[in-house]
Chain A
Amino acid sequence: MSKWSLVTKGFVKDNPTFVLVLGMCPTLATTTSAINGLEMGLATLFVLVLSNMAISALAPLVPDKVHIPVYIVVIATFVTVLQLLMQAYMPAAYATLGLFIPLIVVNCIVLGRAEAFANKNTVIDSALDGLGVGLGFTLSLTVIGLVREILGSGSAFGFKFIPGDGILAFVMAPGAFLVLGYLMVLFNKYLKK
Protein backbone atom coordinates (compact mmCIF):
# COMPACT_ATOMS: atom_id res chain seq x y z
CA MET A 1 0.00 0.00 0.00
CA SER A 2 1.41 3.39 -0.92
CA LYS A 3 2.01 6.01 1.75
CA TRP A 4 -0.55 8.29 0.18
CA SER A 5 -3.35 5.74 0.23
CA LEU A 6 -2.60 5.13 3.93
CA VAL A 7 -3.75 8.68 4.52
CA THR A 8 -6.65 8.80 2.05
CA LYS A 9 -8.26 5.49 3.01
CA GLY A 10 -9.50 7.16 6.22
CA PHE A 11 -11.56 9.64 4.19
CA VAL A 12 -13.87 7.27 2.34
CA LYS A 13 -12.98 3.57 2.32
CA ASP A 14 -12.32 3.28 6.07
CA ASN A 15 -14.15 6.41 7.19
CA PRO A 16 -14.38 5.96 10.98
CA THR A 17 -17.82 7.52 11.31
CA PHE A 18 -19.82 6.51 8.24
CA VAL A 19 -18.21 3.17 7.39
CA LEU A 20 -16.60 1.74 10.53
CA VAL A 21 -19.20 3.44 12.77
CA LEU A 22 -16.75 3.94 15.63
CA GLY A 23 -16.55 6.70 18.21
CA MET A 24 -20.27 7.40 18.21
CA CYS A 25 -20.31 9.08 21.64
CA PRO A 26 -18.32 12.19 20.66
CA THR A 27 -19.90 12.11 17.17
CA LEU A 28 -23.42 12.47 18.53
CA ALA A 29 -22.62 14.68 21.48
CA THR A 30 -20.24 17.32 20.17
CA THR A 31 -21.60 18.04 16.69
CA THR A 32 -24.09 20.73 17.73
CA SER A 33 -22.20 23.13 15.46
CA ALA A 34 -19.60 22.87 12.70
CA ILE A 35 -16.90 24.49 14.84
CA ASN A 36 -17.50 22.10 17.74
CA GLY A 37 -17.30 19.11 15.39
CA LEU A 38 -14.12 20.44 13.83
CA GLU A 39 -12.45 21.03 17.20
CA MET A 40 -13.42 17.62 18.52
CA GLY A 41 -12.12 15.99 15.32
CA LEU A 42 -8.79 17.81 15.57
CA ALA A 43 -8.43 16.88 19.26
CA THR A 44 -8.96 13.23 18.39
CA LEU A 45 -6.55 13.53 15.44
CA PHE A 46 -3.83 14.80 17.77
CA VAL A 47 -4.23 11.86 20.16
CA LEU A 48 -4.59 9.37 17.32
CA VAL A 49 -1.34 10.29 15.56
CA LEU A 50 0.74 10.40 18.76
CA SER A 51 -0.71 7.23 20.26
CA ASN A 52 -0.34 5.33 16.97
CA MET A 53 3.33 6.33 16.78
CA ALA A 54 4.07 5.51 20.43
CA ILE A 55 2.25 2.19 20.26
CA SER A 56 3.88 1.04 17.05
CA ALA A 57 7.27 1.82 18.62
CA LEU A 58 6.41 0.01 21.86
CA ALA A 59 4.51 -2.96 20.43
CA PRO A 60 7.47 -5.35 19.91
CA LEU A 61 8.54 -4.90 23.53
CA VAL A 62 5.15 -5.38 25.17
CA PRO A 63 4.20 -8.87 26.40
CA ASP A 64 0.94 -10.00 24.80
CA LYS A 65 -1.06 -10.42 28.00
CA VAL A 66 -0.62 -6.81 29.12
CA HIS A 67 -0.84 -5.06 25.77
CA ILE A 68 -4.29 -3.53 26.36
CA PRO A 69 -3.37 -1.95 29.73
CA VAL A 70 -0.17 -0.58 28.19
CA TYR A 71 -2.03 0.91 25.23
CA ILE A 72 -4.65 2.49 27.47
CA VAL A 73 -1.98 4.05 29.70
CA VAL A 74 -0.24 5.48 26.63
CA ILE A 75 -3.49 6.83 25.15
CA ALA A 76 -4.64 8.27 28.50
CA THR A 77 -1.31 10.05 28.86
CA PHE A 78 -1.65 11.79 25.49
CA VAL A 79 -5.28 12.69 26.21
CA THR A 80 -4.35 14.26 29.54
CA VAL A 81 -1.52 16.20 27.94
CA LEU A 82 -3.98 17.44 25.31
CA GLN A 83 -6.45 18.41 28.01
CA LEU A 84 -3.82 20.44 29.88
CA LEU A 85 -2.67 22.14 26.69
CA MET A 86 -6.22 23.04 25.70
CA GLN A 87 -6.96 24.41 29.15
CA ALA A 88 -3.86 26.57 28.98
CA TYR A 89 -3.90 27.82 25.40
CA MET A 90 -7.46 27.32 24.07
CA PRO A 91 -9.74 28.09 27.04
CA ALA A 92 -12.74 28.85 24.79
CA ALA A 93 -12.58 25.49 23.02
CA TYR A 94 -11.99 23.78 26.35
CA ALA A 95 -15.12 25.39 27.79
CA THR A 96 -17.35 23.86 25.08
CA LEU A 97 -15.59 20.48 24.70
CA GLY A 98 -14.13 20.06 28.19
CA LEU A 99 -16.29 17.13 29.22
CA PHE A 100 -15.62 15.17 26.04
CA ILE A 101 -11.85 15.49 25.95
CA PRO A 102 -11.18 12.90 28.70
CA LEU A 103 -13.61 10.60 26.89
CA ILE A 104 -11.20 10.36 23.95
CA VAL A 105 -9.38 7.76 26.06
CA VAL A 106 -12.22 5.32 25.54
CA ASN A 107 -12.91 6.35 21.93
CA CYS A 108 -12.93 3.05 20.03
CA ILE A 109 -11.20 4.66 17.08
CA VAL A 110 -8.01 5.28 19.03
CA LEU A 111 -7.72 1.83 20.60
CA GLY A 112 -9.08 0.30 17.39
CA ARG A 113 -6.27 1.76 15.27
CA ALA A 114 -3.73 0.70 17.90
CA GLU A 115 -4.98 -2.89 17.76
CA ALA A 116 -5.72 -3.13 14.06
CA PHE A 117 -2.83 -1.19 12.61
CA ALA A 118 -0.20 0.40 14.83
CA ASN A 119 0.97 -2.72 16.64
CA LYS A 120 2.01 -4.45 13.41
CA ASN A 121 3.28 -1.57 11.28
CA THR A 122 6.18 0.89 11.30
CA VAL A 123 6.13 4.16 13.20
CA ILE A 124 5.84 6.25 10.03
CA ASP A 125 3.05 4.15 8.51
CA SER A 126 1.19 4.29 11.83
CA ALA A 127 1.53 8.07 11.97
CA LEU A 128 0.10 8.32 8.43
CA ASP A 129 -2.70 5.92 9.32
CA GLY A 130 -3.53 8.01 12.40
CA LEU A 131 -3.45 11.15 10.29
CA GLY A 132 -5.80 9.66 7.66
CA VAL A 133 -8.32 8.23 10.10
CA GLY A 134 -8.13 11.39 12.22
CA LEU A 135 -8.77 13.61 9.21
CA GLY A 136 -11.64 11.36 8.11
CA PHE A 137 -13.13 11.65 11.61
CA THR A 138 -12.64 15.44 11.61
CA LEU A 139 -14.25 15.74 8.20
CA SER A 140 -17.26 13.61 9.18
CA LEU A 141 -17.80 15.50 12.44
CA THR A 142 -17.54 18.85 10.71
CA VAL A 143 -20.07 17.82 8.06
CA ILE A 144 -22.53 16.49 10.66
CA GLY A 145 -22.02 19.63 12.74
CA LEU A 146 -22.52 21.85 9.70
CA VAL A 147 -25.79 20.16 8.70
CA ARG A 148 -27.10 20.31 12.27
CA GLU A 149 -26.05 23.94 12.63
CA ILE A 150 -27.69 25.00 9.36
CA LEU A 151 -30.96 23.21 10.16
CA GLY A 152 -30.97 23.86 13.89
CA SER A 153 -29.61 27.39 14.24
CA GLY A 154 -29.69 28.80 10.71
CA SER A 155 -25.96 29.48 10.75
CA ALA A 156 -22.75 27.96 9.40
CA PHE A 157 -19.45 28.10 11.32
CA GLY A 158 -21.11 30.63 13.64
CA PHE A 159 -22.08 32.90 10.73
CA LYS A 160 -25.85 33.46 10.86
CA PHE A 161 -27.55 33.62 7.47
CA ILE A 162 -31.13 32.51 8.19
CA PRO A 163 -32.97 34.76 10.66
CA GLY A 164 -34.98 33.13 13.43
CA ASP A 165 -34.48 30.09 15.58
CA GLY A 166 -34.21 27.17 13.16
CA ILE A 167 -35.48 23.67 13.85
CA LEU A 168 -34.57 23.15 17.45
CA ALA A 169 -34.67 19.33 17.33
CA PHE A 170 -31.54 19.29 15.17
CA VAL A 171 -29.44 20.92 17.88
CA MET A 172 -30.61 18.33 20.40
CA ALA A 173 -29.95 14.60 20.60
CA PRO A 174 -32.70 13.36 18.22
CA GLY A 175 -31.30 15.58 15.46
CA ALA A 176 -27.87 14.07 15.97
CA PHE A 177 -29.20 10.57 15.29
CA LEU A 178 -31.30 11.74 12.32
CA VAL A 179 -28.49 13.63 10.60
CA LEU A 180 -25.98 10.87 11.26
CA GLY A 181 -28.38 8.27 9.83
CA TYR A 182 -29.18 10.18 6.66
CA LEU A 183 -25.58 11.18 6.03
CA MET A 184 -24.56 7.54 6.49
CA VAL A 185 -27.08 6.48 3.84
CA LEU A 186 -25.95 9.18 1.39
CA PHE A 187 -22.30 8.40 2.06
CA ASN A 188 -22.65 4.69 1.45
CA LYS A 189 -24.84 5.12 -1.62
CA TYR A 190 -22.79 7.71 -3.48
CA LEU A 191 -19.22 7.65 -2.20
CA LYS A 192 -18.44 4.14 -1.12
CA LYS A 193 -18.84 2.04 -4.24
Chain B
Amino acid sequence: MATQSTLKNMLLCLTLVCLVCAAILGGAYAMTYKPIQQANDNILKASIGAVLPEGGTISDQKTASFGGRNYTYYEQLSGDAVKAYAVKSSTTGFGGTLELMVGVLPDGTVNSTRVLSHSETPGLGAKCQTDAKFIDQFKGLGPDKLVKLRADGGDVDAITASTITSRAYTLAVSNAVEVVKSLKKEN
Protein backbone atom coordinates (compact mmCIF):
# COMPACT_ATOMS: atom_id res chain seq x y z
CA MET B 1 0.00 0.00 0.00
CA ALA B 2 1.22 3.46 -0.85
CA THR B 3 2.66 5.67 1.86
CA GLN B 4 0.20 8.17 3.36
CA SER B 5 0.15 11.63 1.79
CA THR B 6 1.18 13.63 4.84
CA LEU B 7 3.22 16.78 4.33
CA LYS B 8 6.23 15.15 5.94
CA ASN B 9 6.04 12.05 3.71
CA MET B 10 5.57 14.06 0.53
CA LEU B 11 8.48 16.38 1.31
CA LEU B 12 10.72 13.50 2.28
CA CYS B 13 9.86 11.47 -0.79
CA LEU B 14 10.27 14.27 -3.33
CA THR B 15 13.50 15.47 -1.72
CA LEU B 16 15.01 12.00 -1.72
CA VAL B 17 13.97 11.22 -5.29
CA CYS B 18 15.32 14.57 -6.52
CA LEU B 19 18.60 14.06 -4.63
CA VAL B 20 19.15 10.62 -6.13
CA CYS B 21 18.23 11.83 -9.61
CA ALA B 22 20.53 14.84 -9.29
CA ALA B 23 23.35 12.51 -8.26
CA ILE B 24 22.71 10.25 -11.26
CA LEU B 25 22.66 13.26 -13.60
CA GLY B 26 25.85 14.66 -12.09
CA GLY B 27 27.55 11.33 -12.56
CA ALA B 28 26.35 10.96 -16.14
CA TYR B 29 27.46 14.49 -16.95
CA ALA B 30 30.93 13.96 -15.51
CA MET B 31 31.23 10.64 -17.31
CA THR B 32 30.19 11.96 -20.73
CA TYR B 33 31.83 15.41 -20.52
CA LYS B 34 35.08 14.37 -22.20
CA PRO B 35 33.55 12.09 -24.88
CA ILE B 36 31.08 14.88 -25.82
CA GLN B 37 33.91 17.39 -26.19
CA GLN B 38 35.79 14.84 -28.22
CA ALA B 39 32.79 14.13 -30.46
CA ASN B 40 32.13 17.85 -31.06
CA ASP B 41 35.81 18.36 -31.78
CA ASN B 42 35.79 15.56 -34.34
CA ILE B 43 32.77 17.01 -36.12
CA LEU B 44 34.44 20.43 -36.25
CA LYS B 45 37.76 19.03 -37.46
CA ALA B 46 36.03 16.97 -40.14
CA SER B 47 34.17 20.04 -41.40
CA ILE B 48 37.34 22.17 -41.46
CA GLY B 49 39.22 19.41 -43.27
CA ALA B 50 36.43 19.09 -45.81
CA VAL B 51 36.52 22.72 -46.93
CA LEU B 52 40.30 23.26 -47.11
CA PRO B 53 42.91 22.03 -49.56
CA GLU B 54 44.98 19.12 -48.26
CA GLY B 55 48.13 19.50 -46.18
CA GLY B 56 49.30 22.06 -43.62
CA THR B 57 48.35 22.39 -39.98
CA ILE B 58 45.19 23.96 -38.61
CA SER B 59 45.58 26.84 -36.15
CA ASP B 60 43.55 27.38 -33.00
CA GLN B 61 40.25 29.18 -33.24
CA LYS B 62 40.49 32.92 -33.95
CA THR B 63 37.89 35.66 -34.13
CA ALA B 64 37.47 38.43 -36.66
CA SER B 65 34.82 41.07 -36.67
CA PHE B 66 33.22 42.16 -39.89
CA GLY B 67 30.10 44.17 -40.57
CA GLY B 68 29.37 44.45 -36.84
CA ARG B 69 29.46 40.69 -36.26
CA ASN B 70 32.09 38.33 -34.96
CA TYR B 71 33.21 35.41 -37.08
CA THR B 72 35.15 32.41 -35.86
CA TYR B 73 37.85 31.23 -38.22
CA TYR B 74 40.79 28.84 -38.43
CA GLU B 75 44.01 29.31 -40.38
CA GLN B 76 45.64 26.57 -42.36
CA LEU B 77 49.37 27.12 -42.05
CA SER B 78 52.16 25.70 -44.11
CA GLY B 79 55.34 26.87 -42.41
CA ASP B 80 54.61 30.49 -41.48
CA ALA B 81 52.45 31.30 -44.47
CA VAL B 82 48.68 31.07 -44.35
CA LYS B 83 47.52 28.74 -47.10
CA ALA B 84 43.80 29.07 -46.54
CA TYR B 85 41.14 30.08 -44.05
CA ALA B 86 38.13 28.15 -42.78
CA VAL B 87 35.45 30.63 -41.71
CA LYS B 88 32.31 29.77 -39.74
CA SER B 89 29.55 31.88 -41.23
CA SER B 90 25.86 31.93 -40.38
CA THR B 91 22.84 33.62 -41.90
CA THR B 92 19.09 33.30 -41.61
CA GLY B 93 17.59 30.79 -44.03
CA PHE B 94 13.99 29.84 -44.63
CA GLY B 95 13.48 27.85 -41.42
CA GLY B 96 16.07 29.38 -39.11
CA THR B 97 19.80 29.78 -38.78
CA LEU B 98 21.92 28.33 -41.55
CA GLU B 99 25.49 27.76 -40.43
CA LEU B 100 28.28 27.04 -42.89
CA MET B 101 31.97 26.32 -42.79
CA VAL B 102 33.54 28.09 -45.75
CA GLY B 103 37.07 27.42 -46.98
CA VAL B 104 38.62 30.54 -48.53
CA LEU B 105 42.04 31.01 -50.09
CA PRO B 106 44.00 34.13 -49.07
CA ASP B 107 43.12 35.99 -52.29
CA GLY B 108 39.42 35.56 -51.55
CA THR B 109 38.74 32.55 -53.75
CA VAL B 110 36.19 30.11 -52.37
CA ASN B 111 37.67 26.63 -52.03
CA SER B 112 34.74 24.64 -50.73
CA THR B 113 31.75 24.95 -48.40
CA ARG B 114 29.95 22.70 -45.99
CA VAL B 115 26.73 22.98 -43.97
CA LEU B 116 27.28 22.74 -40.21
CA SER B 117 23.66 23.10 -39.15
CA HIS B 118 20.40 24.14 -40.75
CA SER B 119 16.64 24.06 -40.27
CA GLU B 120 15.57 24.23 -43.91
CA THR B 121 12.59 22.37 -45.35
CA PRO B 122 13.31 18.65 -45.94
CA GLY B 123 13.34 17.86 -49.65
CA LEU B 124 13.57 21.52 -50.68
CA GLY B 125 16.00 23.84 -48.91
CA ALA B 126 17.64 20.95 -47.07
CA LYS B 127 19.08 19.92 -50.44
CA CYS B 128 21.70 22.65 -49.91
CA GLN B 129 23.53 19.98 -47.89
CA THR B 130 23.61 17.36 -50.61
CA ASP B 131 22.95 18.96 -54.01
CA ALA B 132 26.42 18.68 -55.61
CA LYS B 133 25.40 20.86 -58.56
CA PHE B 134 24.57 23.71 -56.20
CA ILE B 135 27.52 23.27 -53.85
CA ASP B 136 30.20 22.84 -56.52
CA GLN B 137 29.47 26.11 -58.26
CA PHE B 138 30.92 28.11 -55.35
CA LYS B 139 34.40 26.76 -56.00
CA GLY B 140 36.54 29.44 -57.62
CA LEU B 141 34.12 32.31 -57.00
CA GLY B 142 35.30 35.31 -55.03
CA PRO B 143 38.06 37.49 -56.42
CA ASP B 144 36.52 38.44 -59.76
CA LYS B 145 33.28 36.51 -59.98
CA LEU B 146 30.53 37.66 -57.63
CA VAL B 147 29.20 35.34 -54.95
CA LYS B 148 25.57 36.14 -55.68
CA LEU B 149 22.56 34.36 -57.10
CA ARG B 150 21.99 34.75 -60.82
CA ALA B 151 18.69 36.44 -60.02
CA ASP B 152 20.64 39.03 -58.00
CA GLY B 153 23.23 39.64 -60.71
CA GLY B 154 25.78 36.98 -59.80
CA ASP B 155 26.84 33.58 -61.09
CA VAL B 156 25.19 31.14 -58.70
CA ASP B 157 22.21 29.09 -59.84
CA ALA B 158 19.69 28.71 -57.02
CA ILE B 159 18.24 25.35 -56.00
CA THR B 160 14.86 24.98 -57.70
CA ALA B 161 12.01 26.15 -55.45
CA SER B 162 14.45 27.13 -52.70
CA THR B 163 15.50 30.67 -53.53
CA ILE B 164 15.48 31.87 -49.92
CA THR B 165 17.73 29.04 -48.77
CA SER B 166 20.01 29.52 -51.77
CA ARG B 167 20.22 33.25 -51.11
CA ALA B 168 21.04 32.68 -47.43
CA TYR B 169 23.70 30.13 -48.37
CA THR B 170 25.20 32.50 -50.93
CA LEU B 171 25.20 35.37 -48.46
CA ALA B 172 26.99 33.23 -45.87
CA VAL B 173 29.68 32.32 -48.41
CA SER B 174 29.97 35.92 -49.55
CA ASN B 175 30.34 37.14 -45.94
CA ALA B 176 33.09 34.58 -45.35
CA VAL B 177 34.94 35.85 -48.43
CA GLU B 178 34.63 39.43 -47.18
CA VAL B 179 35.94 38.40 -43.75
CA VAL B 180 39.06 36.91 -45.36
CA LYS B 181 39.53 39.99 -47.56
CA SER B 182 39.29 42.25 -44.50
CA LEU B 183 41.85 40.06 -42.69
CA LYS B 184 44.29 40.51 -45.54
CA LYS B 185 43.84 44.28 -45.44
CA GLU B 186 44.69 44.37 -41.73
CA ASN B 187 47.95 42.50 -42.21
Measured CB to CB, the residues of A under 8 A from B are 32, 58-67, 69-70, 73-74, 76-77, 80-81, 84-85, 87-89, 91, 95, 152-153, 165-166, 168, 171-172
Residues of B within 8 A of A60 (CB): 1-3
Residues of A within 8 A of B18 (CB): 73
B40 beta carbon closer than 8 Å to chain A: yes
Interface of chain B residues 52 through 88 with chain A (CB within 8 A): none
Number of A-B contacts (CB under 8 A): 82
Q: Closest chain B residue to A169 by CB distance?
A: B123
Q: In whole Å, how far is B102's beta carbon from the nearest beta carbon of chain A? A: 20
| Interchain Cβ contacts under 8 Å between A and B, 21 examples | A58-B17, A61-B13, A63-B13, A65-B10, A66-B10, A70-B17, A73-B14, A73-B18, A73-B21, A74-B17, A77-B25, A80-B25, A81-B25, A84-B29, A84-B36, A88-B36, A88-B38, A88-B39, A89-B35, A89-B39, A171-B122
Q: Does B123 contact A152, Cβ atoms closer than 8 Å?
A: yes
Other CB < 8 Å A-B pairs besides A172-B121, A172-B122, A172-B123, 11 of them?
Answer: A62-B3, A63-B6, A74-B21, A77-B24, A81-B24, A84-B29, A84-B31, A87-B32, A87-B36, A89-B39, A168-B124
Q: How far is the CA of A67 from the CA of B123 in the complex (A)?
A: 44
Q: Does B2 contact A59, Cβ atoms closer than 8 Å?
A: yes
Residues of A within 8 A of B13 (CB): 61-63, 66, 70
Q: Does A85 contact B17, Cβ atoms closer than 8 Å?
A: no
B187 beta carbon closer than 8 Å to chain A: no
B9 beta carbon closer than 8 Å to chain A: yes
Residues of A within 8 A of B3 (CB): 60-63
Measured CB to CB, the residues of B under 8 A from A are 1-6, 9-10, 13-14, 17-18, 21, 24-25, 28-29, 31-32, 35-36, 38-40, 42-43, 117, 121-124
Q: Closest chain B residue to A89 by CB distance?
A: B35
Residues of A within 8 A of B43 (CB): 91
Residues of A within 8 A of B42 (CB): 91
Q: How far is the CA of A84 from the CA of B6 in the complex (A)?
A: 36
Q: Does B123 contact A88, Cβ atoms closer than 8 Å?
A: no
Q: How far is the CA of A77 from the CA of B21 in the complex (A)?
A: 6
Residues of B within 8 A of A59 (CB): 2
Residue of B1, B10, B29 ringed by the most chain A CB atoms within 10 A: B10
Contact for A65 among B5, B29, B32, B36, CB less than 8 A: B5
Q: How far is the CA of A63 from the CA of B39 in the complex (A)?
A: 42
The 7 closest A-B pairs by CB, nearest first: A88-B35, A65-B5, A77-B21, A63-B5, A88-B32, A84-B32, A91-B39
Q: How far is the CA of A152 from the CA of B127 in the complex (A)?
A: 14
Q: Does A85 contact B32, Cβ atoms closer than 8 Å?
A: yes
Residues of B within 8 A of A165 (CB): 123
Q: Does A80 contact B122, Cβ atoms closer than 8 Å?
A: no
Residues of B within 8 A of A77 (CB): 21, 24-25
